[in-house]
Amino acid sequence: MNLTIKQQLGIKIRDAVKQAVVEGIFPDDLLIPEVQVESPKTSDFGDFATNIAFSLTKILKKSPRDIAIIIAKYLEQEKIIKKIEVAGAGFINFWIAEARLYEILGEIEIKQERYGSSNAGQGKKTIVEFLSANPTGPLHVGHGRGAVIGDVIGNILEFCGYDVTREYYINDVGNQMVKLGASLRVRYLELLGESLPLPEEGYQGEYMIDIAKKLYELEKDSCRNKDVMYFKDFAMSEILEDIKQSLLSFGVNFNSWYAESTLYQEEMTKKVLDKLKDMGYTYDANGALWLKTTAFGDDKDRVLIRENQIPTYFTGDIAYHCSKYNRGYEILIDLWGADHHGYINRLKAACLALNYPEESLVILLYQLVSLSRGNQPVSMSTRQGEFVTLSEVIQEVGKDAARFFFCMRKSDAHLDFDLELSKRQSQENPVYYVQYAHARICSIFRKAKESGLKIKSYEEIDLSVLNLSEELILLSKMSTLQDEVSGCARLFEPHRLTIYLMEIVSIFHSYYNHQRIISSESNLTDARLFLINGLRIVLRNTLSLLGISAPEEM
């Protein structure tokens, strides 16, 4: 596997520190910290930079700048480095040799849709469980954020060589489902002329009336004496189908739909409780069964079986995660709404008690969304029916805009979804700005074809004519796609891809506005066409990871 420029630099910096140790400039027992190589905020500070000197200053008892100067001297003769500079208090900035940057275009030509991918995951069986909204009503715009983040994380992990399953956990057991059935029963009986009050905290949305009408159309008055569970099953089936259709239109596909009731059918809950009891991690107190989660880092012990002998939600969660391990998954990723923060430590404690590796369970949080229409906020409530559905948002702004906006911020940061901005056809709208870059490149190729030009191969082109700073900066940015994707996979931060796209298209649009791609100079035209074709592939691959289209015309 070819190393990225960042990876090459990291190895060379580490080798430089080792050489300083060999020559006695640094002590023999020096523990070299992880080398961080980053892309500077502006090109004034080079293509890449490292702060390794700051990590060594306490150990070596030297100033970061003095350490940086020593390290830089060992890197001056490296072929991939055109220029090296010690800046500020001790940063080392690098400008990459043009010959190495040109090689990026050769790599893109070979890898095509796999450019930016890796085999870091080595086929590890991974399950990403996300969204899992209770089947008690249509998906609203807040659910959309969890759906996209989970889906994009799955895409990124697959691109990095993991064997990924996307799973939706269906909460089809418990009081909320009983209330759902009771709410539908009331609405159905209303159609038969009976007037009954909705259950306390029942579901009042218009969608419940629509479901009741469908039930009546199918069964007429034959369900008058059916019990609440019959109505629950019918309502859940209809709502789940609506959820599936909404997700399909949003480009989100689950490999697996796992029902909570399956845990009880397979006696998974009983098996887990018996195992925890046998291991000595449970005890009885005040008529309830408790788990000693404090022995594994939780702030207090948690109830497994209530005084009324009904299992808690926590018990079901433990059993569900055990089912994932039993199905052979090595990495479990849960994406939860931020309001579930308090459940993290208890679940991790339970998995540790059951001897599952600590690093195998990853729990991520995401903040919900504030939706505004103009300056007016839109409230959302599943029971009161005052919500904007995800389907309505997709219909209004489109799948691509919705997905891009949901991924624009770090998942645990608040997101304000501006509907008006997401529909605007201008550079103020980031998704339009990004997609327009791809469409603009495709337009250039249509013009090239009309002129009888074609894209030559890497071996046929003299790339040395690509010597403008904008061209070299663009190449440097294109070289980091795999690093960006790998970082997203390691940190579970899909928003980094939207930032990457906005940065690279900004460079391209500026370049396009100042330079002619097709000119009377054939060598220069060939090289620039090859350059922007590489960029087209980079944009397409990155948009694909986000589940967003790369239009050829706009």
Same domain, 394 and 469: no
- Domain contains 514: yes
Contact 541, 156 (CB under 8 A): no
Asked if residue 402 and residue 439 are part of one domain, the reply reads no
CATH code of the domain covering residue 445:
1.10.730.10
Is residue 143 within 8 Å of 132, Cβ to Cβ? no
Confidence (pLDDT) at 382: 47
Q: Name residue 363's beta-bridge partners.
A: 334
Token code pair at residue 515: 């330079």
- Give the angle subtended at the CA of 158 by the CAs of 153 and 159, to the nearest 5°: 95
Asked if residue 505 and residue 476 are part of one domain, the reply reads yes
- Closest among 205, 140, 496, 137 to 337, alpha carbons compared: 140
Name the token pair of 348.
Answer: 């991790």
315 lies in some domain? no
β-pairing, 302-305 vs 288-291, is: antiparallel
Residue 235 inside a domain? The answer is yes
What proportions of the chain, in percent to the nearest 5, are helix, strand and coil? 55, 15, 35
Q: Classify residue 250: in a domain, yes or no.
A: yes
Can you give the CATH number for the domain in which 21 is found? 3.30.1360.70
Closest CA to 269 of 327, 321, 332, 315: 315
Alpha-carbon gap, residue 74 to 188, rounded angstroms: 80
Tokens of 358: 């600590």
Q: Which residue, among 115, 94, 109, has the nearest Cα to 50 in the 3D structure?
A: 94
**Same domain membership, residue 412 and residue 373:** yes
The continuous run of DSSP H or E covering 323 comes out as: helix 313-326
Cα–Cα distance measured from residue 343 to residue 347, given in angstroms and rounded to the nearest whole number? 6
What is residue 346's predicted lDDT score, i.e. its pLDDT? 98
Query: Residue 57 to residues 61, 311, 496: CA-CA distances in angstroms?
Result: 5, 55, 30
Last residue within a domain, chosen from 46, 77, 96: 96
Give Cβ neighbours of residue 215 (< 8 Å, ≥ 6 apart): 184, 188, 223, 231, 234
Q: Are residues 434 and 528 in the same domain?
A: yes
Decide: residue 200, CB within 10 A, 0-12 exposed, 13-18 middle, 19+ buried: exposed
Indicate if 138 and 249 belong to the same structural domain. Answer: yes
Residue 148 domain flag: yes
Contact between residue 63 and residue 14 where contact means Cβ atoms under 8 Å apart: no
Q: What would the DSSP string read from start to end of 242-270?
A: HHHHHHHHTT---SEEEEHHHHHHTTHHH
For residue 370, the model assigns a pLDDT of 87
N- to C-terminal Cα distance for the chain?
Answer: 37
CATH, residue 384: 3.40.50.620
- Give the pLDDT confidence score for residue 372 in this predicted structure: 79
CA 178 vs CA 182, 236, 238, 260, 384: distances in Å: 6, 11, 15, 14, 17
CA pair distance 416, 73, nearest whole angstrom:
48
Residues 445 and 415 in one domain: no
Last residue of a domain, one of 420, 435, 462: 420
In a domain, 356, yes or no: no
Q: Which of 230, 305, 239, 225 is nearest to 272 (CA)?
A: 305
For residue 288, which phi and psi values (nearest 5 degrees)?
-115, 160
Asked if 489 and 541 sit in the same domain, the reply is: yes
Report, as ranges of residue numbers, the positions in the chain whose pLDDT lies below 70: 1, 379-387
pLDDT at res. 384: 53
Give the domain range for residue 49. Answer: 5-96
* Domain boundary pick from 76, 96, 116: 96
Pairing of strands 91-96, 48-50: antiparallel
| Burial (0-12, 13-18, 19+ Cβ within 10 Å), 290 | middle
Name the maximum alpha-carbon separation found in the chain: 94
CA–CA separation, 499 vs 491, rounded Å?
15
Residues 19 and 88 placed together within one structural domain of the fold:
yes
DSSP assigned state of 272: H
Burial (Cβ within 10 Å: 0-12, 13-18, ≥19) of residue 348: buried
Q: Are residues 400 and 436 in the same domain?
A: no
Work out the burial of residue 377: count CB atoms within 10 Å of its CB; fewer than 13 is exposed, 13-18 middle, 19 or more buried. Answer: exposed
Residue 164 main-chain phi, psi, to 5 deg: -105, 135
Task: Specify the number of domains making up the chain.
Answer: 3
Q: How many helices (H) and strands (E) does the chain have?
A: 20, 15
Q: Does residue 83 lie within any of the structural domains?
A: yes
Distance CA 399, CA 411 (A): 19
Please report where in the chains the tokens 């060594």 appear, as a residue. Answer: 56
Name the nearest CA neighbour of 471 among 433, 427, 524: 524
CA torsion sign for 293, 294, 299, 301 is positive
CA distance 229 to 512: 63
Residues 69 and 182 in one domain: no
**What are the two backbone dihedrals, phi and then psi, of residue 306, each rounded to the nearest 5 degrees?**
-70, 175
386 and 479 co-located in one domain? no
Residue 156 lies in a domain: yes
